[in-house]
A = this chain, B = another copy of it.
């Protein structure tokens, strides 16, 4: 230990900054650690804001307290962590030559300068705001800061607002949408691009859309906001690019975030190719005494090797810990990179993803991928299993798993976490086909959904199943393509619900006896499905073996059909 205590300064006091500071403290009890935070609160669980706004809990302190119930205020930081936390304090300049940070006490405006041996930049990100007229109206907000959370929670508690618009159909947009709905406010989500939830491929995204609508909110896609309409400075409506006007008292902007890099940039620290601070695996910036962590940095994708932005709370914490360790022992810890794993709750659905979507895989340069959409239960029917609908993406040549998306009322989070680990371990479809997972009826099927997904993918890779997505089938119908559509469910299931796309019903068990009802032209395209397309797949194997040679399975079956049904 040196005789002079190490001087550590951390800028940003929400997730990544405090984590770095706390870890540095555990690594070096004698260091002088100062945390500079612009906002009045510290250690805010931003990810919990939607649940506070939506009334899952009512005590605001729960967003800023330890598991033992102590609020993480400057007094706590002083006592429990021996970290000097300055709140309502903005760092305004980094002088890399003098190794100092200049900061301003916001209430008084007083400026000070503090020297550092090691500095951490954890300034986070700022929500983007479309530059449209009316963006400054009262009633227009984001959900990013604690102040935003307080304001939106007040909207709930006041019970006055009746209509809201959420601009942006991403994770946070839909969390906000649900929270507003739970506050009894009718909400419309506006998404400029053609689909909601950009990390999903369109097939699954459309199913989530339906789910949201079934819970009340409206969704408008392919239409941006043109103007926010006000009266006396107050929001009264939103005008879309196509001219539609939606009256509302509240508009929440959730169109993404941009890394806060100004301080770093001004100090001449290198910015990366996708707009975040560039760091090495030790979370070190281009200045070896300066680390950067959290939403303000860019990460490396472990799948594509490319620079990517990944503004997630878990990563902020992991990166903070790595930096905290390196602050004290340089090079002692590394953050290897990310695979883009996330999840959110949208009413009764969980919506999760890990790795690359088909779309992303193409962009990342994987030009020979296979995908499979699979429906199934999370646990057995006799244990009241719930539905999961997934899409698995794999590299054809190597069999390597590249990505997985999963949605539904079933236990999505487990399946996404499992595939995330599989991707982390660079496992192939073949490895996953025979994974040894914990099986008991309260927790999984004998063949868990993720293994089933790999088995279906295996079948596709081996050419034992030819798949079509619901949208490909829909396109055939819409364009009047010449194909024979076969529903292999039972008459009873057909009576309860059916697509009505010109299908013929032949239950799987009767198929071998009813070949006469199938096209005589054995090269005609036949498309099979059932509820989840398991029986569809079995039927396809039968037809294949009997000489039909253009047999396809509509992947995911009836439950993954996102379009209107006959009944």
Interfacial chain B residues near A493, Cβ < 8 Å: 68
Interfacial chain B residues near A280, Cβ < 8 Å: none
Cβ of A471 under 8 Å from chain B:
no
| Chain A 330-353 interface 0/1 with B at a Cβ cutoff of 8 Å (1 = within) | 000011101111111100001011
Provide the bound-state CA to CA distance between A425 and B43, in Å: 34
Cβ of A104 under 8 Å from chain B:
no
Copies of this chain in the oligomer: 2
Cβ of A298 under 8 Å from chain B:
no
Stretch touching chain B among A150-158, A250-258, A498-506, A507-515: A507-515
Interfacial chain B residues near A59, Cβ < 8 Å: 382
Provide the bound-state CA to CA distance between A123 and B350, in Å: 40
Interfacial chain B residues near A25, Cβ < 8 Å: 541
A: contact size bracket: 35 or more
| Chain A 21-63 interface 0/1 with B at a Cβ cutoff of 8 Å (1 = within) | 0000111111000000000000001011001100011010011
Interfacial chain B residues near A518, Cβ < 8 Å: none
| A438 & B421 in contact (Cβ 8 Å cutoff) | no
Provide the bound-state CA to CA distance between A377 and B321, in Å: 19
| A47 & B439 in contact (Cβ 8 Å cutoff) | yes
Provide the bound-state CA to CA distance between A541 and B26, in Å: 6
The one of B341, B437, B535 in contact with A341, judged by C-beta atoms closer than 8 angstroms, is B437
Stretch touching chain B among A125-133, A227-235, A412-420: A412-420
A213 to chain B, nearest CB (A): 21
CB<8 Å pairs between A and B, sample of 29: A25-B541, A29-B542, A29-B546, A45-B446, A48-B382, A48-B441, A51-B442, A62-B381, A67-B381, A67-B531, A67-B532, A70-B509, A302-B436, A312-B439, A314-B436, A314-B446, A317-B447, A340-B436, A341-B436, A343-B438, A350-B443, A354-B438, A413-B438, A413-B443, A413-B444, A414-B414, A414-B417, A420-B437, A422-B424
Using a CB–CB distance below 8 Å, which chain A residues touch chain B? 15, 25-30, 45, 47-48, 51-52, 56-57, 59, 62-63, 67-68, 70, 76, 79-80, 82, 302, 310, 312-318, 321-322, 334-336, 338-345, 350, 352-354, 377, 380-383, 411, 413-414, 416-422, 424-427, 431, 433-444, 446-448, 451, 455, 464, 489-490, 493, 508-510, 512, 530-532, 534-535, 538, 541-542, 544-546
Which 5 residue pairs of A and B lie closest in terms of their CB atoms, listed nearest first? A425-B425, A29-B545, A79-B509, A343-B438, A421-B421
